[in-house]
């Protein structure tokens, strides 16, 4: 297959950091604090685009309380070790020279719904006498794979009298991206300026999975379902006004609705490990979405049976509005990805 050249790009920024605190249990003195950005690992990132059962950070119900049985599987365990090799995204847990591994973590902070960035902080405690030695690394895992790693600038000594606390924070934020489709209008000459918007509530859905009133009150549904061939659903409107990132709901349409439904084409291109993006194609048939399309809400659905399984992805605006008539089809390749920091 030839290289995909997407028409429109849509992405969220994801990053994290780790804070390590050493306390002398004899004097109760905190004698060392290290706070560094981490390296997110492909073993986790690739799964977000190929495994339909994963979320970015954790899971939450409509009241936005973290569910223990879900967030523990994402930020599940923490290890301390002796490997001083600088971190890379291809690192695995097998490479960690592990002195101790703890899975009894505690959620200590989380962002509220509608606040950006979406964040979750969990901590693990390595008591005095556990994992003693010269430490060079910390490693964060999900229930089944590596998630993040960091190496200390200087070795850290943990004696039998030292307690070590590791706090790991994951963050995700949306925002706006813009670009141009040369000769993108129906006349084949006029350029079309596009903008994609992931508002704060959409970013929360990217991070946690989106909850619907039609679903169970005790669970949410994760976003990236590319591996199981989801159905794509679009809602088209007349306005190309910018989204309000702080105030808009996930499905906010700014103008008058023109059409909504399943495009004649809604398909995924193959994923390449390490890309951290997925390309999809959305195509409207001659009878679909005719009018001046100023905006498009792109939604991912697990099935075509009901709205309970839908996951909002982004809102796209077009300037000038796309001129869609009943003698033309319209196809758009959209790249959905993560900006790693």
Q: Which residues contact 100 (CB under 8 A, 6 or more apart)?
A: 79, 80, 126, 130, 131
Which pLDDT score is estimated for 329? 96
- Rounded CA separation 78/141 (Å): 6
Nearest Cα to 48, choosing from 257, 222, 249? 222
Please tell me the number of Cα atoms within 13 Å of 150 on its side-chain side: 21
Between CA 56 and CA 66, with CA 60 as vertex, the angle to 5 degrees is 95
- Rounded CA separation 329/44 (Å): 38
Structure-token pair, residue 313: 């992805």
Exposure string for 317-339, b = 16+ CB within 10 A, e = fewer: bbeebbbbeeeeebebebbbbbe
Which pLDDT score is estimated for 229? 59
The CA distances from residue 321 to 47, 185, 238, 241, 293, in Å, are 36, 9, 8, 11, 5
Roughly how many angstroms between the first and final C-alpha of the chain, as a whole number? 30
Across the chain, which distance is largest between two alpha carbons, in Å?
A: 80
- Rounded CA separation 17/124 (Å): 14
> DSSP strand E in 190-309: where?
192-198, 231-237, 257-261, 265-268, 277-284, 291-301
User: Which H or E run contains 72?
Assistant: helix 68-74
289: left (phi over 0), alpha (psi -120 to 50) or beta: left
Which pLDDT score is estimated for 12? 92
Which pLDDT score is estimated for 83? 96
Structure-token pair, residue 243: 């989204």
Which pLDDT score is estimated for 68? 38
Between the CA atoms of 123, 124, 128 and 132, what dihedral angle is there, to the nearest 10 degrees? -120
CB 185: neighbour CB atoms within 10 A? 15
Answer yes or no: are the C-beta atoms of 89 and 40 closer than 8 Å: yes
- State pLDDT tens for residues 171-205: 999 999 999 999 999 999 999 999 999 999 888 88
The whole-number mean pLDDT for each consecutive block of 10 residues of the chain, a chain of 341 residues, reads: 78 95 98 96 88 61 42 83 96 93 92 90 96 97 92 96 97 96 94 97 80 40 54 93 95 95 87 91 96 94 62 93 97 93 77
- Rounded CA separation 235/262 (Å): 9
Fill in the DSSP letter of residue 143: S
Answer yes or no: are the C-beta atoms of 122 and 140 closer than 8 Å: no
């Amino acid at each position: 297959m030839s290289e995909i050249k997407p028409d429109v790009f849509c992405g969220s920024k994801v990053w994290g950091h780790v804070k390590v605190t050493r306390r002398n249990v004899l004097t109760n003195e905190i004698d060392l604090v290290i706070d560094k950005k981490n390296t997110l690992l492909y073993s986790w990132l690739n799964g977000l685009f190929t495994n339909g059962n994963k979320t970015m950070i954790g899971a939450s119900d409509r009241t936005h309380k973290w569910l223990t049985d879900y967030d523990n599987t994402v930020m599940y365990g923490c290890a301390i070790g002796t490997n001083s090799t600088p971190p890379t995204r291809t690192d695995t847990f097998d490479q960690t020279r592990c002195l101790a591994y703890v899975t009894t973590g505690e959620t200590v902070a989380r962002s509220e719904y509608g606040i950006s960035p979406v964040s979750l902080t969990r901590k693990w405690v390595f008591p005095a006498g556990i994992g003693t030695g010269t430490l060079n690394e910390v490693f964060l895992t999900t229930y089944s794979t590596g998630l993040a790693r960091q190496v200390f600038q200087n070795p850290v000594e943990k004696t039998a009298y030292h307690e070590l606390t590791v706090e790991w924070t994951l963050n995700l934020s949306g925002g706006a991206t813009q670009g141009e489709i040369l000769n993108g209008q129906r006349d084949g000459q006029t350029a079309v300026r596009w903008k994609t918007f992931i508002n704060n509530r959409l970013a929360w859905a990217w991070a946690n999975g989106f909850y619907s009133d039609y679903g169970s009150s005790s669970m949410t549904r994760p976003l990236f379902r590319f591996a199981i061939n989801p159905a794509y659903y679009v809602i088209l409107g007349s306005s190309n006004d910018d989204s309000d990132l702080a105030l808009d709901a996930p499905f906010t349409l700014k103008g008058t609705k023109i059409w909504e439904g399943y495009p004649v084409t809604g398909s995924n291109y193959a994923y390449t490990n390490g890309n951290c993006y997925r390309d999809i194609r959305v195509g409207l048939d001659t009878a679909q979405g005719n009018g001046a399309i100023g905006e498009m809400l792109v939604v991912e659905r697990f099935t075509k049976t009901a709205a309970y399984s839908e996951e909002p992805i982004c809102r796209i605006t077009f300037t000038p509005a796309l001129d869609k008539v009943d003698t033309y089809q319209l196809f758009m390749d959209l790249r959905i990805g993560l900006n790693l920091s």
